[in-house]
Amino acid sequence: MSHVNVFDTTLRDGEQSAGVNLNKLEKIEIARQLERFGVDVMEAGFPASSQGEFEAVQHIARTIKGVSVAGLARAKKSDIDTAWEALKDGVEPRLHIFLATSPIHMTYKLKKTPEEVLQIAVETVAYAKQKFPHVEWSAEDATRTDVDFLVKVVEAVIDAGATVINIPDTVGYTTPEEYGKLFRHLRENVPNIDKVTLSAHCHDDLGMAVANSIAAIENGATQVEGTINGIGERAGNASLEEIAVALKIRQDQYPFTTNLNLKEIKRTSDIVSKLTGMAIPGNKAVVGKNAFAHESGIHQDGVLKEASTYEIITPEMVGVTSNSMVLGKHSGSHAFREKVQELGYRFSEAKMKEVFETFKQLTARKKEVTDEDLFTILMEAQLENVTVKKYELQAFQVHYGSANLPTATVALTTPEGSRKEHAGMGQGSVEAIYNTLESLVHEEIHLQDYQLSSIGKGRDALAEVHVKMTVNGTETSGRGTAQDVLEASANAFLNAVNRIFLTQQVDQQKKAQV
């Protein structure tokens, strides 16, 4: 069995998904779960892209100790310097430099000759190696690059000090046969290729990212890159959970191992979905809600007699458990603490008491409290300081009838502590609440997307709302959870607005310091 390293780029390439906007604490929450999942490398972000991104990468590098943390950089010394400042306190700092090598990119984007690109690649890798113990170099758009030139530049950057060579299918153009052949060609024609880890990074524009990644592994790749749930630019990246399970289930065909803990797949998937606001399709392989559901009578009969007749993946393998009641209103603090620790959360004594009180309040309103409910409570508690509470919902009331125009009355507190009330109307209850809130916060707001989902099952299930909007022209997103759909909607709206004010306050503080 050969070992394959797993490079997770959920926090960098995954966050480039349209509408995804993670803040520092949300990123660290995902990073902690990726560490539990067992990835070998996590790409925390692109430090040179913004001050907020720099701080998030720096925080992750200083916090995560069991995984090598990487940062992305263009082939520029200034990017490399910024990345080093963000990553230098990490256990195993790693730089990921990319530079386009395809004719179309060199001609129209870089406006440079192949010789110039080769020189830049060598110079920046050599410069980065003076700082970083690990330097990964990516030939952007490698699958549309002249193969002879690719061999030449790869050999040169290895001599310059690169420790990982990444061959990305940047636009999701290639096929498994072509991609495998490319890796085999590099193995056979780059004389110093054995000095580095050879990595595969695939996009899913033609729906072949996972198949292409496995083809690369079969042909010499010793590292595979991807994201949780396959999120990412355009149609997304290779889905790491699909690759991991495929290698496990088909060991007869793929004699490769990884360090991933497959039992953490479901929780990792759920955390990424919740914090990015990107819902998992029901028919998504491995983690979709229908992955282990059987509608056909013939299938149901077969599974009841012998699960393997129609299930090649057991739910337990990926951490899917029966959603039975785990705790109830009579549960004590000791049992609650044990369950919290079992789910991987750690709180201070004061915070634990606060979370336990929230749990008890939920048990007073909900018959059954499941792992999924508890997971939501704990994650919200972990992230409650994500935003400065610029505005906080105090009370609301909605008058609605089939023959009347919905009217919402909302009371909230401002950051200055004053209470404001207003009433507004809309074509529906949610619109009435949002129109009223917009009047109260006095900002120009345009709602771009609204998603409503339930946490768990039953008529008393928690409601979770994700919104994407612009506030004064700036894109933001928000999340709200409550038993009442309208309350969850109001919370999501204010969460999105408060994110903008957090950013503004941080910027103002930095300007004042300067």
- The CATH code of the domain that includes 482 is 3.30.160.270
Residue where a domain stops, chosen among 382, 411, 430 = 382
Task: Look up residue 239 and give its two tokens.
Answer: 């889905």
Helix and strand numbers, DSSP H then E, in the chain: 16, 18
296: Cα separation from own chain's centroid: 34
Strand 5-8 and strand 325-327: pairing? unpaired
Residues 6+ apart with CB under 8 A from 375: 267, 270, 343
Q: Do 449 and 343 share a domain, yes or no?
A: no
Please write down the long-range contacts of 411-417, taking CB distance under 8 Å and 24 or more positions apart. Answer: 412/437, 412/440, 412/494, 414/390, 415/388, 415/389, 415/390, 415/391, 415/501
- Answer yes or no: is 286 within a domain: no
Q: Do 357 and 473 share a domain, yes or no?
A: no
Give the integer Cα–Cα distance in Å for 398 and 435: 12
- Answer yes or no: is 284 within a domain: no
- Answer yes or no: is 119 within a domain: yes
User: Is 249 in contact with 211 (CB distance < 8 Å)?
Assistant: no
Q: Do 150 and 260 share a domain, yes or no?
A: yes
Alpha helices in 383-484 (DSSP H): 429-441
Q: Do 100 and 188 share a domain, yes or no?
A: yes
User: Is 301 in contact with 309 (CB distance < 8 Å)?
Assistant: no
Q: Do 76 and 181 share a domain, yes or no?
A: yes
Q: What is the 3-state secondary structure (H, E, C) of 184-231?
A: HHHHHHCCCHHHCEEEEEEECCCCCHHHHHHHHHHCCCCEEEEEHHHC
- Answer yes or no: is 84 within a domain: yes
Which pLDDT score, from 0 to 100, does residue 295 have?
47
Q: Measured between alpha carbons, how far apart are the two ends of the chain, in Å?
A: 56
User: Is 164 in contact with 192 (CB distance < 8 Å)?
Assistant: no
Give the integer Cα–Cα distance in Å for 271 and 250: 27
Segments forming the whole domain that contains residue 236: 2-276
Which pLDDT score, from 0 to 100, does residue 302 have?
55
Q: Do 355 and 233 share a domain, yes or no?
A: no
- Answer yes or no: is 283 within a domain: no
Distances (CA, A) of 37 to 24, 80, 292, 315, 420: 20, 28, 21, 17, 45
User: In this predicted model, what pLDDT tens digit does every residue of 304-354 receive, in sequence order?
Assistant: 566 667 578 888 899 887 544 456 667 788 888 888 887 778 888 888 888
Nearest CA to 408 out of 313, 489, 331, 327 is that of: 489
Give the integer Cα–Cα distance in Å for 123 and 118: 9
Which pLDDT score, from 0 to 100, does residue 504 have?
65
Please classify residue 453 by burial: count the beta carbons closer than 10 Å to its beta carbon, then call 0-12 exposed, 13-18 middle and 19+ buried. Answer: middle
How high is the mean pLDDT in each 10-residue block of the chain (514 residues)? 96 90 90 97 97 94 97 98 98 97 97 98 98 98 98 98 98 98 98 98 98 98 98 97 97 97 95 91 91 57 59 86 60 82 82 87 78 80 64 94 91 89 95 96 92 85 92 89 94 90 62 54
Give the integer Cα–Cα distance in Å for 514 and 510: 6
Give, for 174, the enclosing helix (H) or strand (E): none
Nearest CA to 98 out of 233, 260, 275 is that of: 233
Q: Do 165 and 250 share a domain, yes or no?
A: yes
Q: What domain count does the chain have? A: 4
- Answer yes or no: is 107 within a domain: yes
Q: Do 252 and 332 share a domain, yes or no?
A: no
The dihedrals phi and psi of 319, each to the nearest 5 degrees, come to 85, 20
For helices 176-189 and 209-218, angle between their N-to-C axes, nearest 10 degrees: 30
Torsion of CA 114, 120, 126, 127, to 10 degrees: -170
Residues 6+ apart with CB under 8 A from 134: 68, 70, 92, 93, 94, 95, 163, 164
Question: Running DSSP on this structure, what letter comes out for residue 239?
Answer: B
Q: Do 106 and 160 share a domain, yes or no?
A: yes
Which pLDDT score, from 0 to 100, does residue 135 have?
98
Q: Do 11 and 143 share a domain, yes or no?
A: yes
- The CATH code of the domain that includes 201 is 3.20.20.70
Q: Do 144 and 19 share a domain, yes or no?
A: yes
User: Is 4 in contact with 220 (CB distance < 8 Å)?
Assistant: no
Q: Do 362 and 429 share a domain, yes or no?
A: no
- Answer yes or no: is 308 within a domain: yes
Nearest CA to 168 out of 120, 95, 226, 114 is that of: 226
Which pLDDT score, from 0 to 100, does residue 510 have?
55
Nearest CA to 431 out of 412, 455, 450 is that of: 450
122: Cα separation from own chain's centroid: 32
User: Is 3 in contact with 257 (CB distance < 8 Å)?
Assistant: yes
Residue where a domain stops, chosen among 245, 276, 307 = 276
- Answer yes or no: is 387 within a domain: no
Query: E-assigned strands of 85-218?
Result: 94-100, 134-140, 164-169, 197-202
Q: What is the pTM of this model?
A: 0.87
Give the integer Cα–Cα distance in Å for 142 and 179: 10
